[in-house]
Structure formats: C-alpha cells, structure tokens
Amino acid sequence: MFSIKNLVVEFDDNTAVNNVSFDINEGEIVAIVGESGSGKSVTALTIAGLLNNEARVTLGSVLYNDKDLLKLSKKEMRSLQGDEISMIFQEPMSSLNPTMKIGKQMAEMLKLHREYDKVQVKELVCKALESTGLSRDNYDKYPHQLSGGMRQRVMIAMAMLCEPKLLIADEPTTALDVTVQEQIIKLLQEINEKNKTSILFITHNLNLARRLSDKLIVMSKGCIVESGNAKEIFENPKEEYTKKLIEAIPKRPELK
C-alpha cells in the first residue's frame, strides 16, 4: 500500500535519512527501531508530510496507491493528513492545545475531512473516545485534567476518527509507565485487528517492537542496517549492529 523508495533527507549538510527503502502492506505492523538520531522519526515525518522547513528531501519517493506523496502540493497533502494518514506523537501534552476542550479539538478533524452536522460530530467523537476505553464525559475536559495515559488515548482516538489507512505511532509510549504502556500496545493491536489499519511503529524499545510488529526495520546513522520478518530477525539477526541491540534488551534476573 505504501512504498518508500531510496529516500534521502538532509538538514543543512547533514544526511538524516540515507537511501531508505521499504514497503508497508495493508493491515501490516512495521516497526522501525534504532538508537536516538538513527533517522526513525525523520523517516516517519517524511511519510506524513510533516517535515519542518529546515529539512530537504533530495532523493526518493513515497508512493501511496501509486501516487508520490512528495510531489503533492501542501493543499493536496493536507487532504490526506488525518484522513488517509494519521500520526500519534510521543508527548500528547505538547500535541494537544491546552486552551481547548478535548471534544472541540477532536471535532476539528471531522470538520476538516467530513461533512457532518454538530450532533453527528459529537456522537462520532464520543464513540471514538469510547473505542479507546475513555468515557464520554472526557469530551468536555481540558488536556491538563487527564492523566498521561488518558491523553495518549485521546491522541489515538483523534488519529482514528477518519479511519486512516496508515497510522504512524512515533514513540507513543515513551513518557508512560509500564502499566499504561501495556494498555496502549494492546489498544494498537486491537485497532490493527479490528480495522485492518496498517501501523508504522517507531520505537527504541525492542521488547515492544518484538511483541507488536510483523516486519522489523533496524536503522543506524540514517541507514537501514537490517529488515525483514520481525520474528526471524529477533531469533536469528544477521548484522552485528542488530545483534548488539538485541543483546542490550534487559533480561529478567533469575530468582534464587
């Protein structure tokens, strides 16, 4: 469904993403792992059309249904953002507007991409909140009135409002405790299974990637080091860098 080919992204004289190519099939969960600065998030932001003005795509293509997203105008890309392609960011407090109630922020997504009246919009927003395990009364709350895990669920509900084909999750569990991380991972799995939504999961947590992904992409210094079936790579990594990453996964101490 999505095909990224020979992607090169530069900041000034630095190459952040260097000749990256991979596919995302319908209903597939693809995880990109690697150290901080390896190019994971820049790759995701390029696909979503959210690179800042300092970044330049100097080579490559991002094909969606045979259409190159890199060649679309800002207006054309905006019509896809939040509709066909949605993104969940790692820190929901900085992504949500602190001065607006949750319901109003979510409603803006529907108003931009769909033609519904106010009653329909509110009902759809409430159903989206409920689908992530949140109650309807959160519609009239401000972001600061919710916990970190609840805010992340709001971001997921907002991202899924228009039933996107691709959901990009950029470190969605980084700021959350282990218990809430587990809830968010299960929620993403449910979304994938129920809606057949493709998910691009960006993380430095290999344990989460192993549990969630069908396909694994290992990045270092802007390049893909290894990619393929996630289970096969975790069981038999071919590249030395991948082996070191897997060896660095914390192991439970044996009880005496």
Convert the pLDDT of each residue in 50-59 to its tens digit.
998 899 999 9
What DSSP assignment string belongs to the chain? Answer: -EEEEEEEEEETTEEEEEEEEEEE-TT-EEEEE-STTSSHHHHHHHHHT---TTEEEEEEEEEETTEEGGGS-HHHHHHHBTTTEEEE-S-HHHHS-TTS-HHHHHHHHHHHH----HHHHHHHHHHHHHHTT--GGGGG--GGGS-HHHHHHHHHHHHHTT--SEEEEESTTTTS-HHHHHHHHHHHHHHHHHH--EEEEEES-HHHHHHH-SEEEEEETTEEEEEEEHHHHHHS--SHHHHHHHHTS--PPPP-
pLDDT band at 254 (very low <50, low <70, confident <90, very high): low
pLDDT confidence of residue 149: 85
The model's pLDDT over 143-183, given as tens digits with 9 standing for 90+, comes to 999 988 899 889 889 988 888 999 999 988 876 788 888 88
More confident position, 95 or 226? 226
